[in-house]
Amino acid sequence: MATFKWQTIRRELHQIPELGFQEVKTQRYLLDKLQTIKTDRMTITTWKTGILVHVAGENPAKTIGYRSDMDGLPITEETGYSFASQHSGQMHACGHDFHMTIALGALETIIENPPDDHTVFLFQPAEEGPGGAWPMLQSEPFQAWKPDVVFALHIAPELPTGTVSSRPGILFANTSELFLDFTGQGGHAAYPHLTKDMGVAASSFVVEIQEIISRKLDPLESAVLTIGKIESGSVQNAIAETARLEGTIRTLDPASIGIIKQKLEQSIKGFEVAHDCSISVDYGANYYQVTNEQWLTDLFADVSRECHIAHQEAAPAMTGEDFGYMLKEIPGFMFWLGVDSPAGLHSAQLQPDEAALETGIRAVSSMIHALSGR
């Protein structure tokens, strides 16, 4: 029965994905659900499209924070779900519908059986971009209830349901978005010699910059440079005057991001001369690495085993998370929750196993209780 309730909530949230700082319906939905479980112990406040919920402890010595992200992605869903996204071109393709449902479930468990310490549940907007963690961290409501310790989870499609995974130290990478705009001389497709073709320039650029990782960075450093979107031209028989590339840079060492940006800028200068064009670069949102505190990660492994949830050591991943900014200021950790989906994160076919909702709720609420009074 309880599983059915969380499944319903997850499905309702799945239908209303919204992009970063546009989570208006999502916020309304969560506020309505929170009203149904509201007690005198709970204080609810909003910040932008986010929500903070304070639950007073029985005998508080500190505040424990738990964070869920809220936003969807600009991806057109291809799951075939009967409860697929009702928002055209937007999808919960990174599991934030799961994350929010689990936070609600853990909150309800905590209300039913309050720990000694205070708890703060953070529903944070804009994780996929432009980044809600950093401004939320500095907001007045966050500072008023600032947790002494904070944690979060992320679904892991490649791990079996009923399992969790984490590691001490670095779990997620440093990231920087990358937006490049090429401008040259367009013209008729039949007269290429009279133009500066930005379709050709941008395509060559995508290929050339692969060498930054393979030839210009120390091979012992872990790094990714991905162009995920290419846009150029408007018709088959004209040469494009503009092109836009959108991508992301990822590194495990924060210093490597600077090296990659410097090499990129050198390539840009060379390309401007070689292709007689101008190229502007914008690094968008930058996230700091997720670094897990050793004692908290160890405690989580013990808690998981005690509640019969299989725990395995994770490897660092090149995914990014603005939760890294919270962990930079407050001791904490993040863990992966197995959801056994053949399609991965950011796939239009992502189908996490809803049985994992119960595992997530149990893992989070048990960890809050284990932390309380320590």
Ligand X SMILES: CC(=O)N[C@@H](CCC[C@H](N)C(=O)O)C(=O)O
Count of residues touching ligand X (by CB under 6 A): 13
| In the complex, minimum distance from the CB of residue 361 to ligand X, in angstroms, rounded to a whole number | 20
End-to-end CA distance of the chain: 33
Q: Is 128 a catalytic residue?
A: yes
Whether residue 367 contacts residue 111, with contact meaning beta carbons closer than 8 Å, is answered with no
3-class SS string, 133-173: HHHHHHCHHHHHCCCCEEEEEEEECCCCCCEEEECCEEEEC
Catalytic residue among 18, 77, 108, 128: 128
Strand ranges in the chain using DSSP code E only, listed in sequence order: 42-47, 50-55, 63-69, 118-124, 149-156, 163-166, 169-172, 174-183, 187-188, 223-232, 238-239, 242-251, 278-282, 286-287, 290-292, 310-313, 332-338
Binding to ligand X in span 96-155, by CB under 6 A: 128-129, 154
Binding to ligand X in span 257-286, by CB under 6 A: 285
| In the complex, minimum distance from the CB of residue 247 to ligand X, in angstroms, rounded to a whole number | 8
The single residue among 163, 248, 292, 297 that binds ligand X, judged by CB under 6 A, is: 248
Phi, psi (rounded to 5 degrees) for 246: -125, 135
Question: Residue 280 carries which side chain, given as an amino acid letter?
Answer: S
| In the complex, minimum distance from the CB of residue 172 to ligand X, in angstroms, rounded to a whole number | 7
Cβ closer to ligand X: 42 or 136? 136
Q: Does 288 bind ligand X (CB under 6 A)?
A: no
Quote the tokens at residue 324: 């890294």
Cβ closer to ligand X: 189 or 230? 230
Binding to ligand X in span 295-354, by CB under 6 A: 319-321, 345
| In the complex, minimum distance from the CB of residue 182 to ligand X, in angstroms, rounded to a whole number | 20
Q: Is 282 a catalytic residue?
A: no
Q: Which residues are catalytic?
A: 69, 128
Binding site for ligand X (CB under 6 A): 94, 128-129, 154, 175, 177, 248, 285, 287, 319-321, 345
